[in-house]
Amino acid sequence: MRSSPGTPRYRFAGHTLSPARRTLVRNGRELPLIPRCFDLLVLLVERRNEAVSRHDILDAVWSDVVVTDGALSQAVRILRRTLGDDPREPIFIRTVPRHGYRFVCGGVVEEPDEGPPEPVRAAAEPVPDPPEPDPNASFDRALQALLDDDAGDPEGADVRRRQAAETLHQQGTAEALDRLDRRKGHAVARAYLRETRWDVPGAGPVPLLGHPGWLAAAGILFLLRLRRVARLAGRRWLAAAAGGAAAGAIGGILGGLVLRFGPGSTAGSGVLAMLPLLGTTVGGVAAAGVGAGLAAAEAAFRARRRLALAAAGASSGLAVGAAAHLLGRLVLEGLFGRDLSPVTGAVEGLVLGGAVGLGYGLATPTAEGGMATPHGLARVRAALLTGLACALAAGMLGWSGRFLGAMSLDFMAQSFPGSQVGLAPLARLLGEQTPGVVTRVAISAFEGLMFGSGLAAGLTRRPRDPAVASGVPPARNSYGTGR
């Protein structure tokens, strides 16, 4: 959400909210809020005469990234804590069951955002800051809640630990880590502190590597993130597969037209149907494998997201390429006794998958990590940048003599007399009598462009209902507000 210079500011109960300056001030003191929470407050205040649905909030505030419904609940908790609100008797933000939230504070004054605010009217008299709790007492309660092991109520324990971790961040991340030391449950506590540091303004770093129990903490952190977005990751995987299949179909249609009507073509009309079908199948399967790796990486990693995407793309591409080569070898060599060693395999999958992951990571930067969902021109740009990265890698593979989809098909065509899918017509269009290095590089780069662009376009498709994933239900924080 972005505000124009002419956007008004709002005053309510001693607070001044300026969307243009992106500040929230109470009684002359600015209150820190992370950008998403600030945008959420602006949205609720702007639409204060209605109950705003969770779906509308997620589309407006998290328009560029997919999050679970729990992220919204967590943002509301942070807002309530900042405003000094009580969810049981709200004066600012009320939960509308099974729908969303509504800003219920009366006497909101809307005015031009120019100069200092006018004196607040009696209908919105300033309210004192909430009383400060005993820092040591609230710190100890939050630390104990973070370390407690409540096996009988795992969902409730998850909520309490997240709230406790937020409180500890507010009161001092470094001190919380020092007090954890090697106490029982410290690995779980460190994982929750790491997970929630993105949602608390001013939270300090929570390193894992080299600290006691870091491996266990890393595993717990991975499961936390994976569990919260598992269903969304599954939907993104399917969308990526659909994008790859669509790109393969388009490539197959164009290839079929060239082979059917290109110079010196001997192909029949059957290639116009068979090549799109083959392209759809190959593109969909390859994108499903690589897309699954990228979706899992987005779900599990928020820091070092680009590195995680490149590694996940490379490893999933390696697996897909190796499996495809092995299956093709078993079928064709077993039935026809042909040597298929030059056909696409693990190396090509490794390089292309890594290029797609790196290109996608560079094309979709997200400040807080997570699953990017750019839209409009931003989505087109992300798909093209990913496709270009894949095209560059594919072209280099073609130049080095490696075979991708079309060249593998041409190789098999040469092994079967009478085949109609040789690439000689395309080679003639590119100035070669038979497929050589120019043809290999050009067609490999085109395949890479189509595959990377299609996969990224599918992967960035925003679900219609982002709240389908398992989230964190709202609950009251009883460990003290802390500042």
Kindly write down the DSSP assignment for every residue of 157-209, as one continuous string. HHHHHHHHHHHHHHHHHHHHHHHHTT-TTHHHHHHHHHHHGGGSTTPPP---T
Which pairing describes strands 65-66 and 93-96: parallel, antiparallel, or unpaired?
Answer: unpaired
Assigned domain for 117 exists: no
Please give the chain's pLDDT, 483 residues, in tens: 555 556 889 999 889 999 999 999 998 889 988 888 999 999 999 999 899 999 899 888 888 887 767 778 888 988 998 999 988 889 999 999 889 999 999 889 998 887 666 554 434 444 555 555 555 676 788 888 888 876 566 667 777 888 888 888 878 888 888 888 777 888 888 888 888 887 776 788 888 887 878 888 888 888 887 776 666 677 788 889 999 999 999 998 998 898 888 887 777 888 888 889 988 998 999 999 999 999 888 877 777 889 999 999 999 999 998 888 787 777 666 665 666 555 667 889 999 999 999 999 999 988 767 788 888 899 999 999 999 999 999 999 999 988 787 777 777 767 666 666 678 888 888 888 888 899 889 999 999 999 999 999 999 988 765 444 433 344 444 444 333
Are 49 and 170 found together in one domain?
A: no
Are 66 and 163 found together in one domain?
A: no
Are 43 and 17 found together in one domain?
A: yes
Contact in structure between 429 and 356 (CB atoms under 8 Å): no
Are 108 and 179 found together in one domain?
A: no
Are 294 and 359 found together in one domain?
A: yes
Please tell me the predicted confidence (pLDDT) of residue 117: 62
Are 296 and 322 found together in one domain?
A: yes
Please tell me the predicted confidence (pLDDT) of residue 357: 96
Distance CA 343, CA 320 (A): 13
Please tell me the predicted confidence (pLDDT) of residue 143: 83
Assigned domain for 118 exists: no
Distance CA 241, CA 282 (A): 10
Q: Which of 62, 96, 112 is the last residue of a domain?
A: 112
CA atoms within 13 A on the CB side of 204: 13
Kindly tell me the burial class for residue 243, based on how many C-beta atoms sit within 10 Å of its own C-beta (0-12, 13-18, 19 or more).
buried
Assigned domain for 477 exists: no
Are 374 and 460 found together in one domain?
A: yes
Assigned domain for 481 exists: no
Domain that holds residue 25: 9-112
Are 332 and 370 found together in one domain?
A: yes
Please tell me the predicted confidence (pLDDT) of residue 324: 82
Are 252 and 400 found together in one domain?
A: yes
Are 200 and 318 found together in one domain?
A: no
For residue 99, give the CATH number of its domain. Answer: 1.10.10.10
Three-state SS at 226: helix
Number of separate domains in the chain:
3
Please tell me the predicted confidence (pLDDT) of residue 475: 40
Assigned domain for 120 exists: no
Strands (E) located in 361-482: 371-372
Are 93 and 162 found together in one domain?
A: no
Are 172 and 248 found together in one domain?
A: no
Assigned domain for 381 exists: yes
Residues 6+ positions from 75 with CB-CB distance below 8 Å:
36, 37, 40, 61, 199
Assigned domain for 119 exists: no
Assigned domain for 364 exists: yes
Please tell me the predicted confidence (pLDDT) of residue 309: 94
